[in-house]
């Protein structure tokens, strides 16, 4: 019998799969971004009570309260909550119902219930001390990638990246500038960027500065481009995709 050789046609890669990998900024560009950001933060950073503590419980309370809630609404409730429940032990000793009542009027009432459950687990399994490693923190229900990174960075002084809505917007505009920031691939790239930009020192201030800058300057609507120190290197600005209108 004749020996037939079957030729397999080359695999056709769909256009969506051919997307180029986003580049990481050069070291000099990263250094320039850090310098500008920290310089801005030293002059304009907000004085917030959770920035004056390294208490893991206090940091965790602030991060959970700040989920989908503006800073101005959180400030009075943060102080009130800590005066009533100053520790994991005191929160664990109450009931989920009472904790939810004490949370009013912040809303999203799944948050106090989860915080209460975490407090009980910390007391029962960790002798009242919040663990600092990523695996243990991620095991707590309700703690996602951002919150775990924030707790590690702000409470335990770990060199950990964070990306919230404000940071995603800031880093996307400055270092990407095109495409859809809601796409999973771009979001993951921004996490890579956040890690690459981390300084060797002053990580606490750097991560806090990212959040403040995204909240106060690189805002969603009417970004304050005319006063932005990142403007010379901002890809979104140079492409003309940002409305160059200063907020009052």
Confirm if 153 and 172 have CB atoms less than 8 A apart: no
Same domain, 77 and 122: yes
Same domain, 146 and 73: yes
Span 97-125, mean pLDDT? 95
Pairwise pLDDT comparison (102 vs 10), residue with the higher score? 102
Q: Which among 137, 156, 175 is the end of a domain? A: 156
CA-CA distances (angstroms) from residue 159 to 32, 156, 177, 199, 201? 19, 9, 26, 8, 9
Active site residue 29: no
Span 159-169, mean pLDDT? 96
The mean pLDDT of the chain is: 90
Residue 225 maps to a domain: yes
Same domain, 35 and 80: no
Question: Which range has highest mean pLDDT (2-11, 12-21, 49-58)?
Answer: 49-58
Same domain, 69 and 142: yes
Same domain, 62 and 125: yes
Residue 20 maps to a domain: no
Residue 238 maps to a domain: yes
Within 10 angstroms of residue 90's Cβ, the number of other Cβ atoms is 14
pLDDT at 208 over 60: yes
CATH code of the domain covering residue 235: 1.10.1670.10
Residue 19 maps to a domain: no
Residue 5 maps to a domain: no
Q: How crowded is the C-beta side of 62, counted as CA atoms within 13 Å?
A: 21
Same domain, 150 and 165: no
Q: Which of 63, 121, 134, 145 is catalytic?
A: 63
Same domain, 196 and 228: yes
Span 78-104, mean pLDDT? 97
Q: Count of domains in the chain?
A: 2
Residue 175 maps to a domain: yes
- Of 46, 41, 42, which Cα lies nearest the Cα of 209? 41
The pLDDT score that the predictor gives to residue 166 is 95
The pLDDT score that the predictor gives to residue 22 is 77
The pLDDT score that the predictor gives to residue 12 is 47
Token digits for 48? 């917030």
The pLDDT score that the predictor gives to residue 23 is 84
| Res. 92 pLDDT band, cuts 50 70 90 | very high
The domain in which residue 74 lies consists of 55-156
Same domain, 167 and 218: yes
Residue 3 maps to a domain: no
The pLDDT score that the predictor gives to residue 243 is 52
| Cα gap 169→187, rounded to integer Å | 10
pLDDT tens for residues 20-45?
Answer: 567 899 999 999 999 999 999 999 99
What is the value of pTM for the model shown? 0.85
Helix (H) or strand (E) holding 172: none
| Cα gap 152→159, rounded to integer Å | 8
């Amino acid at each position: 019998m004749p020996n037939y050789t079957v030729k397999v046609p080359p695999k056709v890669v769909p256009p969506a799969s051919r997307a180029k990998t986003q580049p990481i900024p050069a070291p000099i560009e990263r250094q320039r971004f850090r310098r500008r950001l920290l310089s801005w933060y030293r002059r304009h950073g907000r004085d917030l009570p959770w920035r004056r503590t390294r208490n893991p419980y206090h940091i965790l309370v602030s991060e959970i309260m700040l989920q989908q809630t503006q800073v101005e609404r959180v400030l009075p409730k943060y102080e009130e909550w800590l005066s009533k429940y100053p520790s994991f032990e005191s929160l664990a000793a109450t009931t989920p119902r009472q904790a939810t009542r004490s949370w009013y009027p912040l809303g999203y009432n799944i948050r106090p219930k989860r915080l209460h459950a975490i407090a009980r687990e910390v007391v029962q399994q960790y002798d009242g001390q919040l663990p600092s490693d990523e695996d243990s923190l991620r095991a707590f229900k309700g703690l996602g990638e951002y919150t775990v990174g924030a707790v590690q960075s702000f409470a335990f002084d770990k060199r950990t990246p964070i990306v919230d809505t404000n940071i995603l917007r800031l880093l996307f505009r400055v270092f990407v500038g095109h495409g859809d920031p809601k796409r999973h691939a771009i979001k993951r790239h921004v996490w890579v960027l956040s890690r690459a930009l981390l300084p060797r020192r002053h990580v606490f201030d750097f991560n806090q500065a990212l959040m403040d800058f995204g909240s106060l300057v690189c805002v969603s609507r009417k970004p304050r481009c005319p006063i932005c120190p990142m403007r010379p290197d901002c890809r979104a600005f140079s492409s003309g995709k940002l409305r160059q209108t200063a907020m009052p």
